[in-house]
Chain A
Amino acid sequence: MLKSKTFVKKTRSGGVMKIVREHYLRDDIWCGSESCSECKQESTVLQRDACIESNLCPYPHYLIPDTNVVLHQIDVLEDPVIRNVIIVQTVLQEVRHRSAPVYKRLKDIIHEKEKHFYTFTNEHHNETFVEREPGESANDRNDRAIRVAAKWYSQHLKTSKSDPDGLKVVLLTNDQGNKEKAEESGLLVYKCEEYIKSLIANPELVDQLALSNDDKNEITSSKMLFPEHLPLSRIQAGIKSGSFLQGTFRASRDNYLEATVFVQGEGEDSTEVLLQGLQNLNRSVHQDVVAVQLLPRDQWVAPSSVVLQDEGAAKDDDAEEEEDRALRISAAEAARKPTGKVVGIIKRSWRPFCGMLNVSHIKESTRHLFTPADRRVPRIRIETRQASTLAGQRIMVAIDGWPRHSRYPNGHFVRSLGSAGDKETEQEVLLLEHDVPHQAFSQAVLSFLPKMPWSITPEDMVKREDLRHLTVCSVDPPGCTDIDDALHCRELDNGNLEVGVHIADVSHFIRPGNALDKEAANRGTTVYLCGKRIDMVPELLSSNLCSLRSDVERMAFSCIWEMNHKAEILKTRFTKSVINSKASLTYAEAQMRIDDTTRTDDITKSLRGLNKLAKILKKQRIKNGALTLSSLEVRFHIDSETHDPIDLQTKELMETNSMVEEFMLLANISVAQKIYDEFPDCAMLRKHPAPPPSNYDILLKAAKSKSVEIHTDSAKALADSLDMAKVDNFPYFNTLLRILATRCMMQAVYFCSGMDSDFHHYGLASPIYTHFTSPIRRYADIIVHRLLAVAIGADSTYPDLMDKPKQSALANNLNYRHKMSQYAQRASVAFHTQLFFKSRGILNEEGFVLFVRKNAIIVLIPKFGLEGTVFFDTKDKATPNLVFDEEGPALKVEQHTFCIFDKVKVTISLDDSNIQHQKIRMSLIHPVIPGVSVPAPDVEPQAKKPKLDR
């Protein structure tokens, strides 16, 4: 029998389309029951003695649940007690449309033989197909279809003569209207709750019943999840009147239900408003400019220290409400912060996001969730037909909009970056995510490069001093090709010392305002990733013409001091020059020369002189209160062929490192003073603000726990007390404390001297500071070079250089690029660390507790400079008894109390369960806490490399 199905459908572009489909009705769809003799089925699913012992139905029976029962009570249906259930095709299709996770679970049940679930294809059965009547809603029609199917079954089973006991079917529905109609037509029908409660053998099933209001018969969930955004006019009025605040939305990395809005106030005072809960976040995405309204004071909350990640699709609203509640608890009165809610979005800052696709459970589905690599960005729902190809790839997705009724924003696929885990792809992701401009230099930019072969012309020499005769040498890390500084030191006839710092003269090549200059200004800084460098200026300059390599003539900007042997500066002189470096050394080579007493060549003598002066300079600086902070930096040994990291070690610092550093600092300070004297309004300087006292809380608490006193009144007090801080039998304590102190610091920033009054550099304890010494890799230095050149009359000025607001805008961009490049660097190190641990397998290491959180401790492994989190509440395990003491801070897990600085032993492995966020997983080995710690796994001996047969 043939029926034609006609319906109209809205197309994606908004048009209305009439769709005609054939619909065949069959007479060969069987009932699937064992007791049926009429149906010519080969195998049966439903059992003859279908017994679930129940008060209501003491006879053998089959269950037919309706859509809502399946959707809400899937937990119950999954129970092994519930067997012999007929899933009508109508229900199956509706479930498929409504909820992918439930559909997946239902399919799993159906495939399980023990459960005896049978799918009845009622829509194509010629006796059970129903046509939608005029005026009947789709839901009503579906309900009717289910009833008709149930009716058919009850009659079909009755007529089967082989069954004297009378197998019956029971329709389960929670919908009152549906139930009444079913009773009218003589069906056995119960509410799900009634039926489950009547089960004799299994009272515990009642607990699994999901609470639902009886009359929730609406199938479509057009529930509005979010409050409406106010129109811009009302927002502006609100901001003017002070009832709303404008600020930048910053989502929390650890907790997807929490965010802060950074409100820039007048001058210095800026506040942070806390937002908690999906409703209050109201569809804001990280970095949006939003308007917030403060909540009444009694609703203020404290930021929670719980780590929550949006695990996604499987979660219903109920679960979220629970998490909301989990947030609310806690909070002493004092810890509460101004809390608000987002009332409107002033400016979206949506950009394409990198991430990966979570392929939907339904194979043919075209809608999938996309998880951005940045945890602060919510998941995005996209529509794609190529999900299977995109799975496992890093892709870019742009957000299109976020409707009120949608839990996630809608977006679309932009492009694919390559398969995840691939080194190239990951690098691309990390550059894109940190907004690092990394495309090749354009032709326009390259056209401003000097023509090769290049040499110094007599015109170049006009304003330059010829310093080619000096014994200049450079000291850099191994493998460095962009050498931007070189040094010399020689004894003068009057017994004093002449010390010169020679910096590559990049501003000679990069003229203001051209494409090359603009590109460099935009890039702001060179970004160093593991095994890759993203240049700020084209390679011809960075590694050749500007690089102060040995035995070639290079142009430089020199800063020359006359000093006495006590390292007191007698005279300072700046000049453009031409130098010819005699040697480019590594730190280690330089150190060897200094230590090797047999060497007495000019270079070595010069190095010894520099080293001697540097020691004095350093001592003076520390006396003035400069901080020596610590942060562990790691270095990878990279396999030369595969570029995989083979070994990892923390960077070692040698005397020569600090030698070069001292003179660079000195040059920077001298130059800063010079350009500020000359241009008090538009000098590009660098400052490091003193941190607000509250920043030190963690440090103070931590020190106190070991009964060490730390003074933070001034940089000097801090430096001194850090020097004093020592604990017996704990040599690493001091380093740990310095690491903590580093975390308390503020970011150093570039600024334009005319726009600010506070110049102090806290960390270096210098009243004025700038960056002069690395023009190849920092744009700020190029500006400083230009200023200095003008100051000494070696170059002419140009309007933008003297324009305060423009300088200030430039400084902001440089600060932003600098910050991003640091993040990118860190991310690159993290990725390589993961590669390293992937190749190494499981390791057991000792570490120290660095921070204590409510549900976790953060452990530092000094050997690798690696930080990781040990969680105590894992999803699949029972949470141990956790007591968090905020004052300590200490966390009591069962019987053991963790304090800051505790020594622990952990096992490190790579957790690649989530390919997007592969992370280092640490679990506790020692101290042993039953149920929490893990037994120490055997460390796999490293596979020996096969020896080559010669």
Chain B
Amino acid sequence: MAGLELLSDQGYRLDGRKATELRKVQARMGVFAQADGSAYLEQGNTKALAVVYGPHEMRGSRSRARHDRAVINCQYSMATFSTAERKRRPHGDRKSTEMSLHLKQTFEAAVMTQLYPRSQIDIYVKILQSDGGNYSVCVNAATLAVIDAGIPMRDYVCACTVGFVDETPLADLCYAEESGGVSSLALALLPRGGQIALLQMDARLHQDHLEALIEAAMTACKGVSKVLDQVVRQHLQEASVNSAE
């Protein structure tokens, strides 16, 4: 078997997208009534559920509490049925722990934690189906959940992965692309100010290409933010209609 051709000469990717095109993003907010905020987000075949509790008093050891801001607690997990082969350990492995930490960093940068001293905000994200770009889908879902919970943020945090194939940056990689030996980069952006909340890459890439890649990632993130904005607006509209009734 010849390997997969990630980008054809005509400029189409494996699934028919062009290099800069995102996968189809669909989202719903307020999917659970009991949590303070929740959202469900699909980005192509990657599906994630995010739930937010808080801000509330510190639970567990109070020593972790900060007098000037809220502590954000993130937990990332993957459903056992989220991959082609059943996962043995849904959370707590090294990868999940790392991902939780990344999410925490991202949201500490975005949420206005100083408004809630000595309190805690919990963000739980679960990947229901995984098809590449898990981190960015989690960030996007969690953003919606945080908004749903009514916690003030500086801006939407939008994330997107970008890969580099044939001198071309590919936005929003799917699993087949991620595993095809592409050096990829994940970026979380606060789009209005253009501030980077998190940038992560663990592959080799020539420095000359880095700028182009970040540029592409930022464009992609801005694309995501537009979609999220729409979702939020629609949700609010529905909510206001409901409450008016």
Given A119-B9, A121-B8, A385-B181; A21-B176 close (CB under 8 Å):
yes
A20-B131, A21-B176, A22-B45 are known contacts. Are A365 and B3 too (CB-CB below 8 A)?
yes
Please, which residues of chain A bring their CB within 8 A of the CB of B45? 4, 20-22
- The answer to whether A364 touches B10, judged by C-beta atoms less than 8 angstroms apart, is no
Interface pair B3/A366, CB less than 8 Å apart: yes
Among residues 107 to 132 in chain B, which have CB atoms less than 8 Å away from a CB atom of chain A?
131
A367 touches B10 (CB 8 A): no
Report the stretch among B14-22, B33-41, B147-155 that lies at the interface: B14-22
B85 at the interface (CB under 8 A from A): yes
Q: Is the CB of B24 within 8 A of A364?
A: no
Interface assignment of B23: CB less than 8 Å from any CB of chain A: yes
Residues on the A chain within 8 Å of B12, using CB: 121, 124
A215-246 Cβ-contact flags toward B at 8 Å (1 or 0)? 00000000000000000000000000000000
- A362: chain B residues within 8 A (beta carbon): 2-3, 5
B244 within 8 A of A: no
Binding site secondary structure of chain B? loop
| B2–A364 touching, CB < 8 Å | yes
- For residue B44, which residues in chain A have a CB less than 8 angstroms away from its CB? 22
Alpha-carbon distance between A364 and B8 when the two chains are bound, in angstroms: 11
B29 CB-CB contact with A under 8 Å? no
Within 8 A of A (CB), among B164-178: 174, 176
B180 lies within 8 A of chain A by Cβ = yes
Question: Which single residue of chain B is at the shortest CB-CB distance from A110?
Answer: B9
Interface centre among B4, B5, B23, B180 (most CB of A within 10 A): B5
Max chain B Cβ within 10 angstroms of own Cβ: one of A89, A97, A121, A367? A121
Determine whether the beta carbon of A123 is less than 8 Å from that of B16.
Answer: yes
- A343-380, CB under 8 A of B: which get 1 and which 0? 00000000000000000101011110000000000000
- A395 CA / B6 CA spacing, docked (Å): 28
Q: Are B16 and A21 in contact (CB under 8 A)?
A: no
CB-CB under 8 A from A96, the residues of chain B are: 2, 5
- CB-contact partner of B24 in A2, A17, A121, under 8 A: A2
Name A107's closest neighbour in chain B (CB-CB). B9
Chain B residue with Cβ nearest A25: B16
Interface residues in A1-32 by Cβ distance below 8 A to B read 2, 4, 17-26
Contact B10 A121 (CB under 8 A): yes
Distance in Å: Cβ of B177 to nearest Cβ of chain A: 10
Interface-central residue, A25, A107, A364, by most chain B CB under 10 Å: A364
- The answer to whether B84 has its CB under 8 Å from any CB of chain A is yes
For B17, list chain A residues within 8 Å (CB).
24
Contacts A2-B24, A97-B1, A121-B12: A364 and B174 contacting too (C-beta < 8 A)?
A: no
Cross-interface CB contact of A366 among B1, B16, B174, cutoff 8 Å = B1
CA distance A111 to B8 in the complex (A): 13
A100 near B: Cβ within 8 Å? yes
On whether the beta carbons of A364 and B4 are closer than 8 Å, the reply is yes
Residue with the greatest number of chain A CB neighbours at <10 A, chosen from B12, B16, B44, B85: B16
> Which residues of A have CB within 8 Å of B1?
97, 366-367
- Which residues of B lie under 8 Å from residue A25 when comparing CB positions? 16
Chain A residues, Cβ within 8 Å of B131: 20, 22
Q: Could you say which residues of chain B place their CB within 8 Å of the CB of A23?
A: 15-16
Partner of B15, one of A24, A110, A121, A366: A24
Q: Which residues of B contact A385 (CB under 8 A)?
A: 3, 181
Contacts of A367 in B (CB 8 A): 1-2
* A21–B179 CA distance with the chains assembled, in angstroms: 13
Chain B residues with Cβ under 8 A from A119's Cβ? 8-10
Dominant secondary structure at the A interface: mixed
Complex CA distance for A107 and B9, rounded to whole angstroms: 9
Instruction: Point out the residues of chain A lying under 8 angstroms from B9, CB to CB.
Output: 107, 110-111, 119
Task: Give the contacts of A93-126 with B (CB-CB under 8 A).
Answer: 96-97, 100, 107, 110-111, 119, 121, 123-124
Q: In the assembled complex, how far is the CB of residue A22 from the closest CB belonging to chain B, in whole angstroms?
A: 5
A24 to B16, CA, bound (A): 5
Contact A18 B176 (CB under 8 A): no
Q: Size band of the A side of the interface? A: 20 to 34
A119 vs B2: C-alpha distance in the bound complex, in angstroms?
20
Chain B interface residue count, Cβ-Cβ cutoff 8 angstroms: 25
Cα distance A11–B151 in the bound complex, in angstroms: 46
Partner of B84, one of A19, A107, A121: A19
Residues of A within 8 A of B6 (CB): 364
State in angstroms the CA–CA spacing of A20 and B85 once bound together. 12
A2 to B3, CA, bound (A): 24
Contact B15 A18 (CB under 8 A): no
Given contacts A362-B3, A364-B180, A365-B3, contact A21 B14 (CB under 8 A): yes
Chain A residues contacting B16 (CB-CB under 8 Å) are 23-26, 121, 123-124
A100 CB contact (under 8 Å) in B2, B5, B8: B2
B3 touches A17 (CB 8 A): no
- How does the 8 Å CB contact mask read for B37-63 relative to A, with 1 for contact and 0 for none? 000000011000000000000000000
Return the CB mask of A120-159 against B: 1 if under 8 Å, else 0. 0101100000000000000000000000000000000000
Chain B residues within 8 Å of A107, by CB: 9
Q: Complex: how many Å from CA A309 to CA B8?
A: 35
B174 and chain A: residue at smallest CB distance: A22
**Which of chain B's residues has its CB closest to A383's CB?**
B1
Closest to A385 in B: B181
- Chain B residues closer than 8 Å to A121, beta-carbon distance: 8, 10, 12, 16
User: Are B14's CB and A365's CB within 8 A?
Assistant: no
Q: Complex formed: what's the CA distance from A768 to B17 in Å?
A: 83
Q: Bound complex: CA of A362 vs CA of B8, how far in Å? A: 12
The answer to whether B2 and A366 have CB atoms under 8 Å apart is yes
B46 to A, closest residue via Cβ:
A22
Residue of chain B at shortest CB distance from A386:
B181
**In the complex, A25→B180 CA distance in Å?**
22
CA distance A26 to B8 in the complex (A): 15
Question: B138 to chain A: closest CB distance in Å?
Answer: 19
How close is A90's CB to chain B, nearest CB, in angstroms? Answer: 12
Q: How far is the CA of A510 from the CA of B15 in the complex (A)?
A: 70
Q: Determine the distance from Cα of A385 to Cα of B4 in the docked complex, in whole angstroms.
A: 12
Among B1, B2, B131, B180, the most chain A Cβ lie within 10 Å of the Cβ of B2
Task: List, in ascending order, chain A residues with CB within 8 A of B84's CB.
Answer: 17-20
A111 to B10, CA, bound (A): 11
Given contacts A119-B9, A365-B2, A366-B3, whether A21 and B180 have CB atoms under 8 Å apart is no
Whole-angstrom distance between the Cβ of B180 and the nearest chain A Cβ:
7
Note all chain A residues with C-beta closer than 8 A to B8: 89, 119, 121
CB distance from A129 to the nearest CB of B (A): 9
Interface string of A369-401 (1 = CB under 8 A from B): 000000000000000010000000000000000
Question: Top 4 nearest A-B pairs by Cβ distance?
Answer: A124-B16, A364-B3, A24-B16, A365-B2
Selected A-B contacts with CB under 8 Å, 26 pairs = A4-B45, A17-B84, A17-B85, A19-B84, A20-B131, A21-B15, A21-B45, A22-B15, A22-B44, A23-B16, A26-B16, A89-B8, A96-B2, A100-B2, A107-B9, A110-B9, A119-B8, A124-B16, A362-B5, A364-B4, A364-B6, A365-B2, A365-B3, A366-B2, A385-B3, A385-B181
Query: Which residues of B pack against A, CB within 8 Å?
Result: 1-6, 8-10, 12, 14-17, 23-24, 44-45, 84-85, 131, 174, 176, 180-181
Measured CB to CB, the residues of A under 8 A from B are 2, 4, 17-26, 89, 96-97, 100, 107, 110-111, 119, 121, 123-124, 360, 362, 364-367, 385
List 7 other contacts, CB 8 Å, given A121-B8, A362-B2.
A17-B85, A19-B84, A22-B44, A22-B174, A24-B17, A89-B10, A366-B2
